[in-house]
Structures are given as C-alpha cells and as structure tokens.
Amino acid sequence: HTPKVVVGVDGSDHSRAALEWAAAEAVRRGAVLRIVHALGMPLIVSAYGGPTRFQPTDEISGQATSVLTDARAHATEQEPDVETETVTALEEAPLALIRQSHPHDLIVIGTRGLGTVASLFVGSVSVRVAAQAPCPVVVVP
C-alpha cells in the first residue's frame, strides 16, 4: 500500500515543528501525510486501574477535531500539494503512532510536547516511539 509519513500532534509548538517537517517530507516522498492525535491515557495510569480506552466526551472529541483541523490546515498552507488524512486515536499516543505505522513508513514527532515539566529530557512519547516503532523515526527539535 501507499507509504505514509505519520505525524503525531498534541497542539504544542513542538508538534507544529514536527508537522511542518513531516509535510515537506511527505511531498518529497510522494507519501500521504497521516496526522494522528491520540486521546488515550498512558499505561502507567491504567496500571492503577484506569481504562486504556474510553468513550471521549463531546468536549474532548471537539478538541481533538479542532487540533486535527488546525494541523491539516497548517500542513496544507505550508505544502499546498500535500495529501493528508487525519486520525483520532483512542489509545495512548505511543501505541497509536506505532499501530498507525508500517515498516516502510516514517514517524515524525517533536522532541517534546504539551508536558509542563521543563526538562532537558526528550518527552516520554518521543522516547517510547523511538524505542518501539516498526519504522524509522524522526524527532524534530
């Protein structure tokens, strides 16, 4: 099937930088840009009894739609020829990005995201995706 560039967006400036790089790379590759926004809880939460999947409220679904609509509009503004598709995933972000990808795809993510801990470290989503993805991963600063 058609190769994809899969990009994770969380609404942060970091993920916007990743989106811009991913849109340009999708055009270079002649690949579809698949924009993924994940809503699921981290596994660490589910380990204490919470759900890993849930039924999002209308408010959360609406926020997800707006994150993805903004991302798609921004990608198209940067790269008018890019072909996009959007996915709202109910899994946690690392699993969602990994399951949306195949060995010949490329995953693009930011070094960090919406997390409030200003750290020198790379975000937990970035680390887990880089460790577990079935395909190459680009981490955009």
Interacting residues with ligand ATP (CB under 6 A): 8-10, 12, 14-15, 18, 36-38, 93, 109-110, 112-115, 117, 123-126
Question: Of 59-67, 70-78, 98-106, 107-115, which segment contacts Mg ion by CB under 5 A?
Answer: 107-115
- Identify the H or E element spanning 25: helix 13-29
Residue 56 found at the interface with Mg ion (CB under 5 A): no
The torsion defined by the Cα of 124, 126, 132 and 138, in degrees rounded to 10, comes to -170
CA distances 103 to 28, 52, 100, 137, Å, are 18, 25, 11, 11
Least separation in angstroms between CB 25 and Mg ion: 22
Place of tokens 């899994």: 91
- CA–CA gap between residue 95 and residue 122 (Å, rounded): 17
- Identify the H or E element spanning 2: none
Least separation in angstroms between CB 126 and Mg ion: 9
Nearer to ligand ATP, 8 or 82 (CB): 8
Residue 40 found at the interface with Mg ion (CB under 5 A): no
The residue of the chain with the least Cβ separation from ligand ATP equals 123
Chain positions 113 to 132 lying near Mg ion, rule: CB under 5 A, are 113, 115
Residue 98 binds: one of Mg ion, ligand ATP, none (C-beta under 5 to 8 A by kind)? none
Nearer to ligand ATP, 4 or 8 (CB): 8
- CA–CA gap between residue 2 and residue 57 (Å, rounded): 33
Whether 105 and 4 have beta carbons less than 8 Å apart is answered as yes
Name the site residues for Mg ion (rule: CB under 5 A). Answer: 113, 115
